[in-house]
Structure 1
Amino acid sequence: MPYTAVTALSHPGLVRDHNEDSLTAGPWTLCGTVTETPQTLVFPLGAPLVVAVADGLGGQPAGEVASALVARRLAALGPALDGEDAVRDAVKLCNHAVYVTADGAPELTGMGTTVAGLVIAEGEALAFNVGDSRVYDAGPDGLRRLSVDDNPPLPPGRRTTPVVTQTLGGGTAFRPVTPHLATAGAAPGDRFLVCSDGLTDPVPDEALGELLRVYDDGRAAFELWKAAIEAGGPDNITLAVVRIGA
């Protein structure tokens, strides 16, 4: 029977004092906590399965609250995400929920999060994102980014920036979002990576692609995390390696 294996890991890194990332894999969520080793969950391929990472905005209050809210909302909505319109509406609903939750709570004012994820169904993977967390297709031809970073243009020679131009929440007044969507095939043997920028800022795409070429599942997740740690672990690191099996 075809299945989807999701191997996930979340860690605060070496600089931050706590973890503001959250992760969704089907009905399972990991919110603002730490996994010492990669965890693998296996789901039958059929009904829509959502795998997503939400990265709470650093430098603003309650990033872990915003990311957990989004992760749990996506977990609840996951089985109903049966197409682009449903995914787009779900992301917009999450944005609205972040603002509503922060309204009237001074300690939550300005909280926000990025989000990036996949909805896996038979034969297709639908990627979505707002912000600079990422989704990659890790197929046999190499790593291909499916998400679109919401960052301003970078000056020559610079690869990363902490500035994001679109987030869920993140302001004192409601701002709508326009989710980025992309599709890819999802046949047995196909693999994907969903991750926060705590992985992609310190580790370039070329290194990510090489690690995913060499390793599968738990070992791949561990080696990706290790690469970010060895590069200084400057931010929270959350990732999910997604593999379609038969």
Structure 2
Amino acid sequence: MDVNLNIQKPVVDELQLIVDNDLCCACGQSGVGGRKENQDTYGGVGNIDIVILTVCDGMGGMAGGQTASNIAVREIIKFLSVIPADKICIEDVKESVVCANEAIYKHAVEVPQLRGMGTTATVVVITKKAAYVAHVGDSRIYLIRKGKKVFRTFDHSKVFEMVQQGMMTEEQARQSSFSNIITRALGIRPTVDVEVNTIPYNKGDRFILCCDGIWNTDAEPDMLKLFVSKGTTQEVVNNITKVVNNKGIERGCEHDNLTIIMADMKENSDFQYGIFHNTLERISSHCKIFKRKNGKKN
């Protein structure tokens, strides 16, 4: 006897165009995955001189994760959107995340049932001068150039500390049962250590902000094939979330929330790495190789 169970498959939210100006075209999309609620939050604003993008992945019961990520996105955008584009700097981006941490922690103190809630954070602020990026936790920021990964944030997690110490590979870390243990998050403590970078960009580059529900779907080389796909920003984002969600359904429908923002750049930044920076990069690389050969940890 054929029985129609009428199982509701998880769907992805409608794609949102965040900004389309002379700097970039940026779109975002999110989905609940196989979970009961979506604890991810993303957002962005922009004008002709600046684009602010952020993705946060919340954690905590009693709607705590959703609350934490909502507060983080709201506070980050509120802090940064009042600073003129020609005045903004990397310290401002860092401070926006610090303020978001304080707001989440304060709210948790005021509402006892939300204590322990937290969230990751990724922020990309694009100006004509450069891109300023900040992150806390294991949500990631990628920069894709000419079909290759040229920058990626390093996860603040137990397993990635082990990667840094040479105890496991990134793929082993991804598949580890401890991969969800993060070492930094907003809202857990009164203060937080925020990692920041100033990055030049070129026309045709692609910034990606995403939670682990996206990047942890498959090994990074396979995910990069999706990230570098040809097509409009909207088409590529739609395809990534569709593929990730379908894979989750095929694997038992227990997959995590999935959230991504993609920004395709339309011009070069004023700031570009010069000969001095490239020389320092080569020296740093040689030092790391020397240390590894001599059995020393970075």
Does the alignment reach a TM-score above 0.5?
Answer: yes
- Give the TM-score of the pair, scaled to structure 2: 0.70
Distance 1:215 1:23, change over 3 A: same
How far does residue 59 in structure 1 lie from its aligned partner after superposition?
Answer: 5.3
| Secondary structure in structure 2 of the residue aligned to 1:132 | coil
- Give the TM-score of the pair, scaled to structure 1: 0.84
Residue aligning to 1:203 = 218
What's the RMSD between the two structures over aligned residues?
2.0
| Secondary structure in structure 1 of the residue aligned to 2:173 | coil
| Secondary structure in structure 2 of the residue aligned to 1:98 | helix
Deviates more, 1:91-100 or 1:200-209: 200-209
Describe how 1:190-229 pairs up with structure 2 within 5 A. Answer: 190-216=205-231, 217-229=233-245
Conserved? CA contact 1:127–1:147, under 8 Å: no
Distance 1:57 1:145, change over 3 A: farther
Distance 1:56 1:109, change over 3 A: same
Would you identify which runs of 4 or more consecutive aligned residues in structure 1 move more than 3 Å? 58-61
How far does residue 191 in structure 1 lie from its aligned partner after superposition?
Answer: 1.1
Deviates more, 1:104-113 or 1:179-188: 179-188
* 1:132-178 deviation per Cα after TM superposition (whole angstroms, max 9, x unaligned): 000000111502343221011256333250000000013xxx34211
Q: Distance in 1 between matches of 2:193 and 2:32?
A: 29
Conserved? CA contact 2:157–2:183, under 8 Å: yes
Residue aligning to 1:110 = 116
Distance 1:210 1:123, change over 3 A: farther
Which residue among 116, 137, 150 is the counterpart of 1:144? 150
| Secondary structure in structure 1 of the residue aligned to 2:174 | coil
> Which is strand-richer, 1 or 2?
1
Which residue among 8, 12, 22 is the counterpart of 1:2? 22
Distance 1:185 1:45, change over 3 A: farther
Conserved? CA contact 1:203–1:231, under 8 Å: no
* 1:5-26 deviation per Cα after TM superposition (whole angstroms, max 9, x unaligned): 111101011x201101001211
| Secondary structure in structure 1 of the residue aligned to 2:265 | strand
How far does residue 45 in structure 1 lie from its aligned partner after superposition?
Answer: 4.0
Conserved? CA contact 1:137–1:144, under 8 Å: yes
Number of aligned residue pairs: give it: 225
Conserved? CA contact 1:2–1:188, under 8 Å: no
Identity of matched residues, %: 25
Deviates more, 1:122-131 or 1:56-65: 56-65
Which residue among 46, 50, 62 is the counterpart of 2:49? 46
Conserved? CA contact 2:57–2:65, under 8 Å: yes
Q: Distance in 1 between matches of 2:218 and 2:239?
A: 11
1:165 aligns with 2:186: no
Q: Distance in 1 between matches of 2:48 and 2:146?
A: 21
1:242 aligns with 2:257: no
Which residue among 105, 108, 111 is the counterpart of 1:99? 105
Distance 1:204 1:100, change over 3 A: same
Structure 2 segments unaligned to the other structure (5+ residues): 1-20, 250-254, 268-298
Conserved? CA contact 2:61–2:114, under 8 Å: no
How far does residue 205 in structure 1 lie from its aligned partner after superposition?
Answer: 2.1
Distance 1:59 1:227, change over 3 A: farther
1:71 aligns with 2:73: yes
Report the AA paired with residue 19 of structure 1.
Answer: N
Conserved? CA contact 2:98–2:192, under 8 Å: yes
1:131 aligns with 2:137: yes
How far does residue 192 in structure 1 lie from its aligned partner after superposition?
Answer: 0.7
Report the AA paired with residue 181 of structure 2.
Answer: V
Structure 1 segments unaligned to the other structure (5+ residues): 27-42
| Secondary structure in structure 2 of the residue aligned to 1:126 | strand
* 1:76-101 deviation per Cα after TM superposition (whole angstroms, max 9, x unaligned): 12232811111111111111110101
Distance 1:141 1:182, change over 3 A: farther
